Structure 1
């Protein structure tokens, strides 16, 4: 437990440093976007490639993936069912479902996997699930909700191939499967660049906390409470129950439960803003679930570690 608290302490210090540099005016909103872009398009792909090329794929993708997928399906079904009962429009229903089931696997998932679980490769299943399946599916539905024209399947299927994290992850998996050695002239620069992914993400997140708007009062409590409750409570419980059912060991149970307890991903807000659907719900769900995930994850680790 001491190592977990130390891991969270490390994360908190770097996030706090991001808040400080934003408060002092050293990094503004444009700087934050640049930092995030470098982390997303350059450093994170390098990190995931170097991590996955040596990963034990059977340990990462077998039962862990089953438990994570089951948890996503459970929360998504409940959220979609409630949205249908409320007779929400299709776009709002999609955003609400993403708020309840789409994890912040990048900005917070990688640091938590690295410093709390001790292996950043453990975040790979949920990252690939979201980037290859969930996000393209959600965007296709949103496209159909706001457009009078049919969705292009070519555009839909090519979307993951245009995401650098997906491409780098698949490349790392192919190297791991083939066992082919990566030349030092390639591996060393990738490892060096990948080393800045986690601190860059945390600094950018801290800058965003300082510069970003706080949640307002535009979302009723019952509207906000449902996606946050599903995200922080039902999803990790479903992952844990599935993990127990399929016989995951203690380390696997801890990993899938912690990963499923991650807060709503920040890009849900970007998507909501792009399609002009449930923007306030997405913003407030991200903020509240981010604050709430810390005690939830600490409690999970205390019970399962």
Structure 2
């Protein structure tokens, strides 16, 4: 049971830091803007530095591992399943259904994915292909759909600008470029430049987790009774069905075994990414649905990741 023990120890580390953030919020340490400051600093500074530091030293062929095929197909299938269920049972309008599909397929590769990849899977670079896939593919598709359904037209300029507003994607791409240059020429940036970037990046995970803990203080989920069936459906699709699909694809289609299979399934069980709430807020659609779906999948995700660790690790 070493894999399960390792997962539980990883969750213990993550849980303690989250709890510290929750206590800090209750005690009003840092004032009412503390969560926003931690979130913004980690989003715009620490996390991009972390992804750059990790990926620049990762072998280029390890970054784009074939497991990205599993992540892509399992996410797409889950999104389609939600849309079918919505048509059969929930009957949301097109914009809200788009938020529901994103809630079901979008992985929290930053706030939760980075800590889990670091402390449970032992390699933070594992989330990089997922991050690039989501920001380069799923985000433009989702925003295009929301543009059409809320405005009746597509703002190509705004959608094309999205990657420029994603510091994580920029940091990841720069790290990938440096990794490729290093593989081709053997050149790497001097340590006096790399070390401060790495030092700043190491602050990302604790800030992310404490900010998440702060966000739990005063939260009152599931106030909209009409959304509850769809919210529970999102949590089931995200935390149970998606890992099952990922396992089937990884095991039977890709032939993965051991750590590769384990990583594919654990990452598929990550909760919904908080980006979905940002998109809902931007278009003013499905706000409470997006928030409660993210919260529900986030609270239940550790249970299912523990089960996966027990069965596969």
Question: So what's the TM-score if we normalise by structure 2?
Answer: 0.93
Residue 240 of structure 1, CA deviation: 1.1
Gaps of 5+ in 1: none
Contact 1:61 1:125 in 2 (8 A): yes
Aligned counterparts of 1:59 and 1:160: Cα–Cα separation in 2? 23
Is 1:102 aligned to residue 106 of structure 2?
yes
Gaps of 5+ in 2: none
Is 1:261 aligned to residue 269 of structure 2?
yes
Which residue of 127, 133, 142 maps to 1:129?
133
Aligned counterparts of 2:278 and 2:170: Cα–Cα separation in 1? 22
Name the structure 2 match of 1:65.
68
* TM-superposition CA deviations, 1:62-96 (whole Å, max 9, x none): 32101101110110111122223354321011000
Which residue of 288, 293, 305 maps to 2:296?
288
Name the structure 2 match of 1:140.
144
Decide which moves more: 21-30 or 99-108: 21-30
RMSD of aligned residue pairs (Cα, Å): 1.5
Residue 142 of structure 1, CA deviation: 0.7
Is 1:186 aligned to residue 193 of structure 2?
yes
Contact 2:271 2:294 in 1 (8 A): yes
Name the structure 2 match of 1:242.
249
Residue 246 of structure 1, CA deviation: 0.8
Residue 50 of structure 1, CA deviation: 0.5
Aligned counterparts of 1:249 and 1:99: Cα–Cα separation in 2? 29
Name the structure 2 match of 1:41.
44
Aligned counterparts of 2:62 and 2:50: Cα–Cα separation in 1? 19
Paired residue total:
304
Contact 2:58 2:125 in 1 (8 A): yes
Name the structure 1 match of 2:168.
165
Contact 1:215 1:283 in 2 (8 A): no
Name the structure 1 match of 2:95.
91
Corresponding residue SS for 1:107: coil
